[in-house]
Amino acid sequence: MKLLVIGCGQCGGRIADEFARLGKVAHTQRGLNILTNVIAVNTDVADLSGLVNVKSDFRHRILIGAKKTGGHGVGKLNEVGADIANEDGDKVIDSIRGTDKFAETDAILLIASAAGGTGSGAISVLTHLIKERYDKPVYNMVVLPFQYEELTEGRSIYNVGTCLKSTYLAADAIFLVDNQRFIKKNVSLKNNLSKINYMVVRPFYNLLCAGEETQPKYIGSKVLDAGDIIQTLSGWTVIGYGKEDLSGFRMPFSKSTDFRDKDAQNEQGTKAMTEALGDLSLKCNPNNARRALYLATGPHEAMSMDVIKELSGALKGMATEAIIRSGDYPRGKGMIDITVILSELVNSKRVVDYFARTIEYIANSKKRQGGIDWDHRGIEESFKDIPSLF
């Protein structure tokens, strides 16, 4: 599958940068193209300058709202980010139009943090603009803030609430990523952020590569291609990744008739699946997913139909309400890894929580201004009161 990636704001730009790095790795190590273009959009010159892998010309690093912000960001006001994206959105469209192999693009992915200003405001506006012009699926990846950020800044909750509502209205699917899930103690935040970005993007590597392979030896018995992924992605979505070491096992598995080897092979696969489901980008209940997919990647010898059957069973056991798509990708050695996607989540405690707290935030601000009896309004009625950013 080939993506066109657009990072909005600092967080989005950096994750897009990580995608660009991964694209280079796919090209040099596997001879595959998994990206047709990577673009970063920001109101902040310094953030754009700090990127490494996104091409450095003005078509790939797009400064918007320079007149309004002087190139220094929007200071967490996401409605200003949204306005600027509306005014300068043409620059992004021009850049998309200039993409050499745009026709080969299977889908467009826009990325931003929800709690900031520029990316949080711009992502839904740009998604809307792009969807008006092109007939390709447009996905969003929205990064949720660390706990400490929520505790110290009421405004960040409002940004998250309005960003989530707007992306839900604009995009075909939204990958939710919770920064807090990735935090490891004793590592400085900056190091953590690049580590987090690496971990956020890594599950996409094999997922994007699998359908682009042309050499028979790397083509699985069940290929997971762009069509399967597009069919799976809808609404709120999470992604997870797990891997298990195969060194120490006798290879090739398939030639061994020892029942212990057969068992070990299935067990490593199921362990990787359990890890992937335990390591989702946002904690959620798999039973809430209406669609799911997984891709198992590992040495040819380890990819038997038995393993695939076992894995499908394991996922079906967790995501009982989901239509499941799957594939195997015979590539690499020494480990089996699993990427899993849960999509069309019908309920997410975290998202509902953000909406409730945003409504509270709006109610409190309005209360201070006097007027409506906010204490006696239901959640449905109040949901309408969360402003949309486009």
| Residues of the shown chain interacting with ligand GTP in the complex, contacts defined by CB under 6 A | 9-11, 14, 43-44, 73-76, 113, 115-120, 143, 145-146, 149, 179, 193, 196-197
Cβ proximity to ligand GTP, 8 vs 340, nearer residue: 8
Minimum Å gap between C-beta 80 and ligand GTP is 8
179 binds, among ligand GTP, Mg ion, none (CB under 5 to 8 A by kind): ligand GTP
Residue 105 in contact with Mg ion, rule: CB under 5 A: no
Stretch of 38-46, 160-168, 187-195, 280-288 lying at the interface with Mg ion (CB under 5 A): 38-46
3-class DSSP state of 17: helix
Return d(Cα 197, Cα 190) in angstroms, integer. 11
Torsion from C-alpha of 265, 271, 272, 273, nearest 10 degrees: 110
343 binds, among ligand GTP, Mg ion, none (CB under 5 to 8 A by kind): none
74 binds, among Mg ion, ligand GTP, none (CB under 5 to 8 A by kind): ligand GTP
Q: Could you tell me whether strands 107-113 and 138-144 are parallel, antiparallel, or unpaired per DSSP bridges? A: parallel
Residue 44 in contact with Mg ion, rule: CB under 5 A: yes
7 binds, among ligand GTP, Mg ion, none (CB under 5 to 8 A by kind): none
- Residue 243: CB partners within 8 Å, gap ≥ 6? 272, 275, 335, 336, 337, 338
- Residue 331: CB partners within 8 Å, gap ≥ 6? 30, 206, 209, 210, 213, 218, 297, 298
Alpha helices in the chain (DSSP H): 9-25, 45-49, 66-69, 78-97, 118-133, 147-152, 154-170, 179-182, 189-201, 204-210, 226-232, 259-278, 305-318, 349-368, 379-383
Residue 224: what residue type?
A: L
Residue 10 in contact with Mg ion, rule: CB under 5 A: yes
298 binds, among Mg ion, ligand GTP, none (CB under 5 to 8 A by kind): none
Return d(Cα 263, Cα 255) in angstroms, integer. 14
3-class DSSP state of 58: coil
Minimum Å gap between C-beta 41 and ligand GTP is 10
Cβ proximity to Mg ion, 73 vs 145, nearer residue: 73
Minimum Å gap between C-beta 197 and ligand GTP is 5
SS3 sequence of 271-323: HHHHHHHHCCCCCCCHHHEEEEEEEEEECHHHCCHHHHHHHHHHHHHHCCCCE
Cβ proximity to Mg ion, 7 vs 23, nearer residue: 7
Of the candidates 142, 17, 119, the one whose C-alpha atom is nearest the C-alpha of residue 64 is: 119
Minimum Å gap between C-beta 64 and Mg ion is 12
Distance of CA 14 to the CA centre of its chain: 13
Cβ proximity to ligand GTP, 68 vs 136, nearer residue: 68
149 binds, among ligand GTP, Mg ion, none (CB under 5 to 8 A by kind): ligand GTP
Among 65, 73, 220, 330, binds Mg ion (CB under 5 A): 73
Minimum Å gap between C-beta 143 and Mg ion is 13
Minimum Å gap between C-beta 330 and ligand GTP is 32
Q: Are 342 and 237 in contact (CB under 8 A)?
A: yes
11 binds, among ligand GTP, Mg ion, none (CB under 5 to 8 A by kind): ligand GTP
Q: Could you tell me whether strands 335-345 and 235-245 are parallel, antiparallel, or unpaired per DSSP bridges? A: antiparallel
Cβ proximity to ligand GTP, 162 vs 266, nearer residue: 162
Return d(Cα 22, Cα 17) in angstroms, integer. 9
Cβ proximity to Mg ion, 3 vs 39, nearer residue: 39
Minimum Å gap between C-beta 10 and Mg ion is 4
Minimum Å gap between C-beta 364 and ligand GTP is 22
Of the candidates 79, 39, 77, the one whose C-alpha atom is nearest the C-alpha of residue 59 is: 39
289 binds, among ligand GTP, Mg ion, none (CB under 5 to 8 A by kind): none
The torsion angles phi and psi of 333, rounded to 5 degrees, stand at -145, 160
115 binds, among Mg ion, ligand GTP, none (CB under 5 to 8 A by kind): ligand GTP
Positions touching Mg ion (CB under 5 A) are 10, 44, 73
